[in-house]
Amino acid sequence: MEAAARGDGVDRLGLLASAISRRALRVAPAQPGELAWTDGEVLFLDPDASPRAQLESLAVQAALLAAGSLESGIVRGLTRRPALTRRYLAVEGHRALSSLESLLPPGPASMGPVALPVATDSATESLAAARAPAAVVEAPESFGAIHPRRLLAARRSVIGTQGAALQQPGGPRALRELADDAVTDEAGDDLFASPVGGGGAIGRWLSRLLSAVRQLHGGGSPGADAPSHWTPAGTRGRRQVGVVDAAPAVLGCEPRAAGEGGSRYPEWDAHRNRYRPDWCTVFESEADAGAASAALELPERSRLRRALARLGLGIGPVHRQSQGDDIDLDAAVEARVDLLAGVAPAEDLFVDSVRRRRDLSVLLLLDVSGSAAEPAGEGRTVHDQQCTTAAALALTLHELGDRVGLYAYCSRGRSAVQLTPVKRLNEDLGVLALQRLHALQPGGYSRLGAAIRHGVAVLHADAGTPRRLLVVLSDGLAYDHGYEPVHGAADVSRALEEARQDGVGCLCLSVGASTEAHALRRAFGSSAHAALASPAELSRLVGPLFRAALASADLRRRL
């Protein structure tokens, strides 16, 4: 009876497990006597263990998830290697606990350190340390266990399948699963080095088979009928995202020295829960207005103009007026206090409704990384759809009198994040700017967090208006060398939060891509964002999206 009561009660720890792991995580009873383990969705605890032992095991397993210790690229290296798995758990378990020490209860947080030859700062380093068996002790039972095959099976069941062609043994699905969430090593010479960079054995093999195209998480080809939905909290859709390491024809992403006039920005390390100061270097380079590969098709913009014309021009209250429709209570109270104090009160005691002038600056950030070359239906690519959307927004806002800037971005490592001004905020929008936009070609990777931080800096320097809006046109995939999807999404979310704290509204649009809802939520966080099947849907959603983004920035600016 006591054991049954304990088993029925472990689910009460779900809130604590979710808080530590930073994800929705259920807690369920395991088999009596079985070590604690997790499949990424459920954390299983021994129902016969003492409450303290359950708490310690829960803390370790949830901390592993929060620290990125159980990503697929790492777990695959542990399959059918139980001794290595136990040593890895010993090293990585203590690293994960130390990175979340402030969130843990006193018992788990006070577990003594394990004897290690060197301190580790990442899951990759812990795996390397675990490969030296003489220098590492095995994990205590309170750490639980890691079951690589169960973790991978659970991951595949969540991802699912997207087409009959992907079901064939040894087909594209098998290749994508090998590349899923690969762990990137900064030196580029580990077995699990990024398959895009081609530094490791798996990377070289995938480069030959996939022609340097990395498909993440499976999924079929995006189609024109991809569902779209918008709310401030997220979107829905299928996932089919890729990273293409192809040299762009116009926008170059070659590595450059930090001393060539670049701007340095920090980067958020989600695994260690802290910033990496001066980590990324952003360069601005002039765009080439060469011949475009295809004509840019602009959507019909009359509805878009009507939706955007109302922004910043609505009837709004103006306080402390000499006449108006209502009494300004704050001004009336102050006038009464002045009168009682023997001071002549002010006469501006009313609230009037007036039509506001436009006071908006908008900076468009266009993703031209290799993943934008993916097909988006009707013979067009995601890049084509995003360029059409960017042109429609820039032309319409410019016609309405707003200050508009358009920058394209891509990257090739943290030292070569490149932004190309297609149109600066203080430039006129003419034929030359459209030619630059036409000539852009996708290539390189997407270090989106650094691009957002530089875009915010440009707005602060050149906007000249009290209201500022940053619009990101991207498929939501942030990936680069040392910038794997989990780490990249956390950095993007943090960069957007920094922008809103600075009073800059943030809106993220994914046009033509089939990125899943949870992937967009993970990257774009609480910012206003939407997934559109085509640019034609923009006029229907742009009004509410712009208002939500500007309202959030106005609130942060007042606070």
What's the whole-number mean pLDDT along residues 481-490?
Answer: 86
Is residue 153 very low, low, confident or very high in pLDDT (cuts 50, 70, 90)?
A: confident
Question: DSSP string covering 240-280, please?
Answer: -EEEE----SSS------TTTT-EEEEEEETTTTEEEEEEE
371 and 268 housed in the same domain: yes
In a domain, 303, yes or no: no
201 and 247 housed in the same domain: no
Distance between CA atoms of 87 and 298, rounded to whole angstroms? 58
The answer, yes or no, to whether residue 417 has pLDDT greater than 60, is: yes
* pLDDT value at residue 547: 85
Distance between CA atoms of 85 and 477, rounded to whole angstroms? 30
In a domain, 155, yes or no: no
339 and 431 housed in the same domain: no
The answer, yes or no, to whether residue 485 has pLDDT greater than 50, is: yes
CATH of the domain at 235: 3.40.50.410
In a domain, 436, yes or no: yes
170 and 138 housed in the same domain: no
Which of 355, 371, 406 delimits the end of a domain?
Answer: 355
Which of 150, 181, 203 delimits the end of a domain?
Answer: 150
Q: Please write the tens of the pLDDT for every residue from 342-381.
A: 888 888 889 887 766 677 889 999 999 888 888 876 678 8
In a domain, 9, yes or no: yes
Is residue 205 very low, low, confident or very high in pLDDT (cuts 50, 70, 90)?
A: very low
In a domain, 302, yes or no: no
86 and 142 housed in the same domain: yes
Which of 303, 336, 355 delimits the end of a domain?
Answer: 355
Least confident of 21-35, 139-153, 240-254, 358-372: 240-254
Q: Select the more confidently predicted residue: 464 or 136.
A: 464
pLDDT above 70 as % of the chain: 70
127 and 200 housed in the same domain: no
- The number of beta carbons lying within 10 Å of the beta carbon of residue 330 is 12
Question: CA separation (Å) from 205 to 95, 179, 187, 197?
Answer: 32, 11, 18, 11
- The number of beta carbons lying within 10 Å of the beta carbon of residue 24 is 9
439 and 526 housed in the same domain: yes
Distance between CA atoms of 415 and 407, rounded to whole angstroms? 19
Phi, psi of 367, deg, nearest 5: -80, 115
Model confidence, pTM: 0.54
In a domain, 128, yes or no: yes
Q: 261 in the Ramachandran plot: left (φ > 0), alpha (ψ -120 to 50) or beta?
A: left
Angle (nearest 5°) at CA 393 between 387 and 395: 100
166 and 201 housed in the same domain: yes
* pLDDT value at residue 181: 36
The answer, yes or no, to whether residue 535 has pLDDT greater than 50, is: yes
Which range scores top for mean pLDDT: 36-40, 65-69, 436-440? 36-40
In a domain, 271, yes or no: yes
* Nearest partner of 183 among 521, 413, 398, 486, judged by Cα: 486
What's the whole-number mean pLDDT along residues 315-339?
Answer: 86
175 and 255 housed in the same domain: no
The answer, yes or no, to whether residue 158 has pLDDT greater than 70, is: no
Structural domain count of the chain = 4
* pLDDT value at residue 465: 83
In a domain, 534, yes or no: yes
143 and 176 housed in the same domain: no
pLDDT above 90 as % of the chain: 16
345 and 364 housed in the same domain: no
What's the whole-number mean pLDDT along residues 282-288?
Answer: 84
Q: Select the more confidently predicted residue: 506 or 165.
A: 506
234 and 210 housed in the same domain: no
* pLDDT value at residue 538: 83
The answer, yes or no, to whether residue 192 has pLDDT greater than 50, is: no
- Please answer whether residues 498 and 462 qualify as being in contact, where contact means their C-beta atoms are separated by less than 8 angstroms: no
The answer, yes or no, to whether residue 511 has pLDDT greater than 50, is: yes
| Cα torsion 156, 162, 168, 171: sign | negative
Query: What residue type is 409 in one-letter code?
Result: Y
The answer, yes or no, to whether residue 435 has pLDDT greater than 50, is: yes
- Domain range enclosing 364: 229-294+360-558
What's the whole-number mean pLDDT along residues 80-102?
Answer: 82
